[in-house]
Amino acid sequence: MDSPTAQRIIVALDFDDRRAAEALVARLGGACGSYKVGLELLTAAGPDLVRELVGQGHEVFLDLKLFEIPNSVTGAVRAAGALGASMVTVHAMGGTGIMAAAVDAAREFPGLRVLALTVVTSMSGSDLADIGISTGTGAGTDEQVLRLARLAARAGCDGVIAAPREAGAVRALLGPEHLIVTPGVSLPDGESGGHARADTPWAAFAAGASHVVVGRSVTRAPDPVAALRRIVEGGRLP
């Protein structure tokens, strides 16, 4: 499925077993060009799986959610670049120092883009209040997402991670150049997968997302290729 929409869909390999991940990649074949590898699969399978995916011609979004001292973030981003990853994530809540360290480290790898995670898509306004972050305007998570997106842009990040329902406001803030990658998308008849601020992939694209990350709607579907095709054919570019 070589189309502009297909190239903007990242399938999340949220497995705890390398063979299960490899089986899905084989089943999707040329229908998918980009995969997300998160901490669960990276811990279970090790970095060789990332090298294998890159060697097959796939782009890999390495979702590390780095939140460490700048020196450690620098080392981790360099390791991601050496593996051939196309995207790597760092927590915007870590502040400018952490994000700037990631950006500086990524300069050694022209194909690696640094994305700042704003507010994890499982969190709500009450969760932010629990950790002492006030959203006094009553806008819930929106206020914090925009604050962190602005900070990420100033730090030089290539883009941000935000929920589908925030993509429009973030796009208006950042303009057309930055990436906005949206997890928490599912088909209308699918499960939210624990995401508190979910929406459909088409809504995310329409709002201004550059990419969507699709998990269970594809990976747990009886026919993953058909599920992915449904997203591609039903999507509308903004």
> Which residue, 69, 68, 54, 179, is CA-closest to 116?
179
Active site residues: 65
> Which residue, 88, 67, 70, is CA-closest to 79?
88
Per-residue b/e over 20-36, b at no fewer than 16 CB within 10 Å?
bbbebbeebeebbbbbb
CA 207 to chain centre: 16
Phi, psi for 160 (deg, rounded to 5): -135, 165
User: Which residues, other chains included, contact 8 with Cβ-Cβ below 8 Å and sequence gap of 6+?
Assistant: 205, 209, 210, 211, 212
